[in-house]
Amino acid sequence: MELKRQPLSNRNLNIVLLAIVAAICLFVTPGYLAMRRPDALRKGPGLTRVAHLSDWFEGIKGTRGDTDVYILDSGKPGGSALILGGTHGNEPSGYMAAILMLENARPTQGKLYIIPHANASAMTYTDPMEGVPRAFTLQAASGMRVFRHGSRATSPMDQWPDPDIYVHASSGQQLSGAETRNLNRAYPGRPDGNFTEKIAYAITSLIRKDRIDLTIDLHEAAPEYPVINAIVAHDRAMPTASGAILNLEIEGVVMGLEPSPAKLRGLSHRELGDSTATLALLMESPNATQGRLRGRTDEALILTGKDPQYVRGQKLGRLFVPYDEKGWPLQLRVARHVGGLQAIFAAHSMNTPERPITLGGVPSYDELAAKGLEPFL
């Protein structure tokens, strides 16, 4: 007798599908929860206080927008500077430079405020469809260190859905709807705005209330992006930026200088300079993991910056930075940011001698370029 296979009933099919979904959830949950935990950062010799961004705006208290603010106070009169890393969670040299400053700097005059993860929500997930790793590892002097690799935008878990068109509140500028979750399109922010605008408002409030002299936002961009290996400066910050460029050239580091576009709104270097008394600057370094020409996107690409597709792009004249088989390793990108910060502080101290910012303990560009990050973490 031939036995016929009986089709699954709808009820049994639903049970099977639910079991498959449950198995997938069990498999991915540990990694998802790990992404939501903040990186374990070390307290450096210059650290005097750990605050929370909600101390300056309670509207973000208890949310993933309430990130740590590390304060390094020399105890001596001087100026103040705010270093922003992690505005975009997929730009690791920015937050790694901030972390390196946190774990090494010892201010001798003035005060530093450091926010390694300005948009902490963006550090809790990776960009869909980009195939990037969730973290990268360094064998540091203090032991094995794991650092997350996040997204350019606030997590949809914290702000959703995106509008079709994002309208910047104070200027009326219109952009793609996804830009509503981009912290660097949200400044100066609003206390009653969306999640990302509230983070921007909290940072703006810190700058206003504590009268921050300098604000430096650390970024990365694709090698085919025109503004690269550069300092972008608000109009009032141009003398400081120009002095920093000269300081870097004396050390053999070539850095471009770009004015903050007056008509491109929501960006830190424009809005913070317009709406507060701070001198607002931004730095960019080249990151192949963000580009459209890249090949395989893995941890090695984050760390070494080596990609044969970008070598081809250089030969075809498609890039705005030199790119050869040596690539642009993370240590060199961080060295440019750290060296740039020190050059900016030196220029500010020269231009404003009554508000100096001087540091000890920070490795130089040459030290980082030669030895890497590991000895200093």
- The residue-averaged pLDDT of 345-362 equals 98
- The residue-averaged pLDDT of 132-150 equals 95
Residue ranges per structural domain of the chain:
40-376
Q: What is the pLDDT of residue 331?
A: 98
Q: What is the chain's alpha carbon radius of gyration, rounded to the nearest angstrom? A: 22
Distances (CA, A) of 255 to 5, 81, 234, 373: 71, 21, 16, 21
With b for 16 or more beta-carbon neighbours within 10 A and e for fewer, the 20-39 pattern comes to: eeeeeeeeeeeeeeebeeeb
Q: What is the pLDDT of residue 283?
A: 98
Phi, psi of 367 (to 5 degrees): -65, -45
Predicted confidence (pLDDT) per residue in 13-50, tens digit? 777 777 776 666 565 555 555 555 666 799 999 999 99
Tokens encoding 87: 């505005």
How many of the other CB atoms lie within 10 Å of CB of 214? 26
Q: What is the pLDDT of residue 347?
A: 98
The answer regarding whether domain 40-376 maps to CATH 3.40.190.10 reads no
Average per-residue pLDDT for the chain: 93
Widest CA span in the chain: 100
Query: Which element (helix H / strand E) includes 103?
Result: helix 92-104
Half-sphere exposure for 294 (CA within 13 Å, toward CB): 23
Predicted confidence (pLDDT) per residue in 82-96, tens digit? 999 999 999 999 999
Q: What is the pLDDT of residue 227?
A: 94
Q: What is the pLDDT of residue 128?
A: 87
Predicted confidence (pLDDT) per residue in 259-306, tens digit? 999 999 999 999 999 999 999 999 999 999 999 999 999 999 999 999
> What is the rounded distance in angstroms from the CA atom of residue 244 to the CA atom of residue 154?
32
> What is the rounded distance in angstroms from the CA atom of residue 56 to the CA atom of residue 59?
9
Band of residue 222 on the pLDDT scale cut at 50, 70, 90: very high
Nearest Cα residue to 121 out of 188, 41, 197, 234: 197
Q: Which of 86-95, 128-137, 349-358 has the lowest mean pLDDT?
A: 128-137
Q: What is the pLDDT of residue 4?
A: 56
Q: What is the pLDDT of residue 51?
A: 98
